[in-house]
Amino acid sequence: MPASSSAKSNQINVVPLNKQPDPLANSERIQLKYGNYSIDIIENNSSIRMSSLYSTHDGVRVIRTIAVVAYPSVIEKEFKTEHDAIVGGQSIGTLFKNRGWEIEKHHQYFGEIETTNGLFCETANRDDTQKTRSAINVYTLVVKKDNTSFEYASIAEVHHPEFLQLDDLAAIYGSAFENHRREKEKPGSFLAIVKSRINTLSRALKSPA
């Protein structure tokens, strides 16, 4: 579901109390922890983008985060150039920051979803049968410049268990984590989209090349 709350505009004038600035974009966090970072676009259309954020070690990609983005229904002229670059494959948070935007994450949900260990690794002997639990955080990305704020997109990030777990997200986001950990606050329709995309990706990885 797109982040825009209006069919005419996704500009906002009031910053919600549940906002939480994050000094690092997820791509920056991967770069710092593993020494390198790249992005692979798995799906990209006018409404949904799915990407894998990965680091490479001895020639093998290890996916650190799978991100599902619901683009806004209205592409404002103020960020049209940035949006076009994002559709072209650029990292969302890093691109906005590099172009002078302030970004905030307005959190909706923290939790876990079931995945397989093989979902995050490209090796030929990946284990697609062993189940695991992966931390997920869902938020609206708000971008701000020149005293104007816009809701850009709804974003869900599913993290490799060796990269970020729930305890790590709690340490990063503090009170925002505690406020949005409750089951009743699940963003139902968007979370269903995310789970469907993850299941589809898992099935695709199991299929012979």
- Spell out the domain ranges in the chain: 19-203
Is-contact 205 118, C-beta < 8 A?
Answer: yes
User: Hunting for tokens 């500009």 — which residue is that?
Assistant: 11
Fold assignment, 19-203: Chorismate lyase (3.40.1410)
Tokens at 173, concatenated: 């986001």
User: Cα separation of 209 and 169, whole Å?
Assistant: 35
Task: List C-alpha distances in Å: 115 to 31, 49, 83, 167, 201.
Answer: 23, 19, 30, 18, 10
Q: For position 59, what pLDDT does the model report?
A: 87
Q: For position 127, what pLDDT does the model report?
A: 59
Task: List C-alpha distances in Å: 51 to 131, 144, 156.
Answer: 21, 24, 11
| Tens of pLDDT, residues 161-179 | 999 999 999 999 998 898 8
Residue 110's contacts (CB-CB under 8 Å, 6 or more residues apart) are 135, 136, 137, 138, 166, 169, 170, 173, 177, 180, 181
Q: For position 121, what pLDDT does the model report?
A: 80
Is-contact 180 18, C-beta < 8 A?
Answer: yes
pLDDT tens for the chain, residues 1 to 209 = 444 433 344 544 333 434 555 568 888 999 999 999 999 999 998 899 999 999 999 888 999 999 999 998 889 999 999 999 999 888 898 899 999 999 999 998 999 998 887 888 865 555 566 788 999 999 999 999 998 999 999 999 999 999 999 999 999 999 889 888 765 556 678 888 998 888 888 777 665 44
Q: For position 15, what pLDDT does the model report?
A: 39
Q: For position 13, what pLDDT does the model report?
A: 39
User: Hunting for tokens 């876990």 — which residue is that?
Assistant: 112
Q: For position 24, what pLDDT does the model report?
A: 80
Q: For position 23, what pLDDT does the model report?
A: 62
Q: For position 14, what pLDDT does the model report?
A: 36
Q: For position 77, what pLDDT does the model report?
A: 94
Q: For position 6, what pLDDT does the model report?
A: 37
Q: For position 4, what pLDDT does the model report?
A: 41
